[in-house]
Chain A
Amino acid sequence: MTVGRTVAILGAALLTGCAPAAKTGETVLTFSGSALGAEGTLVQKQLKRFMQLNPGIRVELQRTPDDANQRHQLYVQWLNARVGNPSILQLDVVWTPEFAAAGWVLPLDPYSPARSEFFPATVIANTWAGKLYALPWFADVGLLYRRTDLVPSEPKTLEEMVSQAQAAMARRGGPRYGIVSQGARYEGLITGFVEYLGAFGGRIIDDKGNVVVNRPEAVRALEFMRDELYKTHVAPLDVLTWHEEEARFAFQNGNAVFMRNWPYPVAAMSDTSQSKVAGKFTVSPMPASATAPNGHSTAALGGAQLAINAYTDHPAAAYKLIAYLTAPEQMLERAQVVSQYPTRPALYSDPRMRGTIGIPLENARRAIESATPRPVTPIYTELSEILQIELHRALVRQVEPQEALNSAAARINALIERTGMRKLMSGGAQESAP
């Protein structure tokens, strides 16, 4: 115990060692973030404004890796050593329950944040065991990109999307691929699966904490994904090795009718000097399946959240900064400067938002409203790894979809038992359900 504490203090001393000593009476916060590019400049500008408004607080930017996995690994090491810096943690959307259950971040409820002002899905994703642990800073959302010159009307159903893709591919000089997406064995595969799953009315874990990923709806969703590769041939087999960028290249070079991707490619694809599809594409939410009565249009939710490090000495000041950074003005500025989507629905009808994100605001808002968090559980990362492997095995046809999902369900259940999550998950999920 004492050893642990000494190590923690040493670690903290090392981390803050190079910072100038605080003036007496001044509260010093550290903010975890990127110091690179337009994003870094924007963060520094907003932190400066915050300090002008709050003279007693000084905020230092602590550089942390932009790569999510690396940042996660660093955070976990620091928090295991009880280091109080950075005082404000920047969390990926699927980390909040993990950090909350570990006691590494503080509940925000004592500060009564205005949760109703944010998109409901972003609030659910940040809620664990009935308490809110982080505020959504910006949203990332799965979008269906469409070539408007080839398919003028938005597909109402998944089935229509497939037939539109086939028709466009069959045209003389039509693109080689119908639908491109992220199918390599990594987190991106899960985000795509979550969207098809919702379209067929399935889920991975239900509100009671039961694993339902091998139910008929889920099997049909996975079969549909597989059929796109081998039956309707709208998706090239290459996507089974693709990440976001490969899909973007294919779409940007005019080789695909549809693309599933995040909002980030909009800027590059609208640039006529590097894109063959500038002005010829739009986005919409992924449609639901026509054959599933409970299916609904679903988008995977991503994005960054801000939370208070449980070991910081200044939680109240830290919350002040979080509230400032997630306030409408700062979000608006983020959209204007780096095109990141606000997590406040009200901003989507704000005239100042026009032209900031490169696509119709209405479509972006609809997509985020259809957003579904991936399973909100502290054991998400391992759960995801299990699913990645089983989904990939089914999609490369090593096993049948039903068999793959049965195996995934069995292994997820074993994981839940091993980690003692059974009780916690049923309680937590129920309370955080919409």
Chain B
Amino acid sequence: MRVSLFVTCMVDALYPNVGVSSVKLLRRLGVEVDFPEDQVCCGQPAFNSGYHDAARDAAAQLVRAFRDAEYVVGPSGSCVSMIRHYYPALFEGHPLEAEANAFAAKTYELSQFIVDVLGIDDVGARFPGRATYHTSCHMTRGLGVLEAPLRLLKNVRGLELVDLPRREDCCGFGGTFAVKMARLSAAMADEKLDHVAEVQAEYLVGADTACLMHLGGRLERRGGRVRVLHLAELLEEGTRPGVRIEPEESARRGGAGAAGGAGGAAGARTGAGDRAEEASA
């Protein structure tokens, strides 16, 4: 199976390690990864600020860049939600309308792709520690992806996953909101970080770099020992050679990927239940 990585502009520019981790993780799951070099920002900052022409300019470039992709996978629930949810309307009546719709339909958030398309609940990771997961709003509400990342995290050996109180509350990032109403945005982050402290998590894990940049940035100002990690980073660290669980087991788990192509994915999907059982045994 071939995946085209939609790395997102924020990861590209500021957090390349999240992109590198995504690539390594997908490869370890038996997926071939390519990176269309002409990709840019999804246009969300302009869209949410009301500049829809500028948003469409960026979006059109992104649609063109992924024209030949089979699957598009990105490590950001928010950017993927922008594509899936808002591109169809943004391109209504536009020459690129059909392509934009096709692009929206083949684009997945990383954990959504691993669980729903590859059919993998357990990537074989080992990562000792106490972690809590931040449910980003656009990922959870916009994209409707809540279970996939949690399932992947629950199956990480050694990881103690604790629920974040009031997890459905926004962290206060909100794009340009974080700058336009900075103090208010930070007050929202403070409440979220109080909850992280309350559950005594060592790791704050999320699937959206933007929320993590905001929370991590606030955390640094407040002081605290919590390590902020993107889900891709945690799963990559946990599946490094020598860390990842036994090869035989992992072979069975990742077997579908080895077959390659869409057929492999279908096989993996039907086998997901069995593998989850094996893992917990």
A-B interaction? no
Query: Which residues of A are interface residues toward B (Cβ below 8 A)?
Result: none
